[in-house]
Amino acid sequence: MIQAGIIGGSGYTAGELLRLLIHHPGVALNFVYSTTNSGVPISKQHPDLIGEIDLEFTDTINPNIDVLFLCLGHGRSKSFLSDHSFSPTTKVIDLGNDFRLVEDKRYLNRDFVYGLPELQKDQITVANNIANPGCFATAIQLGLLPLVSSGKIKDAIHINATTGSTGAGVMPGGTTHFSWRDNNFSSYKVFTHQHLGEIEQSLKQLQPDIDVPIFFIPNRGNFSKGIYATMYTKYEGSEEEANELYKTFYKEAQFTMISDQEIHLKQVVNTNKCILHISKKNEMLLITSVIDNLIKGASGQAIHNMNLMFGLDERVGLELKASAF
């Protein structure tokens, strides 16, 4: 059994990671580290896990575990790894943004591989350290990779994507309270969102000569989970050709699929799926992408990466039922 540890176990992302790992047939949860909740039963912080887990949060670590999941929030993983020593054989999967860009991928003798399986499956399989992609970045990249892989993007990319309130984390803020979110809608970090760097990096990886602006408008939705993203750009081919391009690109992908019908969030919430829909109007190709921000956009993708790193079937522990209705 793979011995796993989680650092920072009280947030939404860690909660989903716990739910998935305790039912993963190849994993034993060794510890869940939290200095603020040490000694508190995990099922008290995550009450849906009553009867499923009897561990308590701890403020000590086992440095010899097989895999370590860092759920510390953006910018905190480097300091944690600096302050705590782990075995050189311990694989690290960081769910923050500390190591996603090429210039940040090497730290303390650890080389981090960007963990988007649909882009870098072979590299992930032999990696010891993974930088898990961001949630918006996952939905958007999966919508654009087939186009850049064939050099089809020649003009500006326009993106409008809406995420649920869980994307803002557990800590309350002015824009996360129910009374603010309910019957409300807003944009934030327009054209400047932190996920743009990793998106641009991956696009250039497949289409090195790409030199087009990306106009990304992130939105806050009045729902809890999910990302609904639409992207459009000029495209010279037909809608049928575009659909064939996407289906060919993702033919071996275990969790990304193309729908011939229009799509919606409940098809993917509570799953590790990304579903895409392609249509064309006049000269513009429209790509719609839907994911669960906490699973495909975070914890589920982390487990997918773990499965690849340890030579397991990609789908083990991730065959999940969608909300559906």
DSSP secondary structure code for residue 143 in this structure: H
Q: What angle do CA 116, 203, 275 make, to 5 degrees?
A: 50
CB-based contact 255:273 (threshold 8 Å): yes
Residue found under tokens 């953006």: 74
Q: Is 274 a catalytic residue?
A: no
Write the CA distances from 133 to 97, 198, 267, integer angstroms. 8, 8, 21
Q: Which two tokens stand for residue 190?
A: 């327009």
End-to-end CA gap in the chain? 36
d(CA 241, CA 124): 30
Going by C-alpha positions, the residue among 253, 151, 251, 289 that lies closest to residue 211 is 151
Distant-in-sequence, close-in-space partners of 305: CB < 8 Å, separation ≥ 6? 93, 115, 117, 124, 130, 132
- Name the catalytic one among 27, 116, 135, 268: 135
Going by C-alpha positions, the residue among 301, 266, 312 that lies closest to residue 20 is 301
- List, by residue number, the catalytic residues: 135
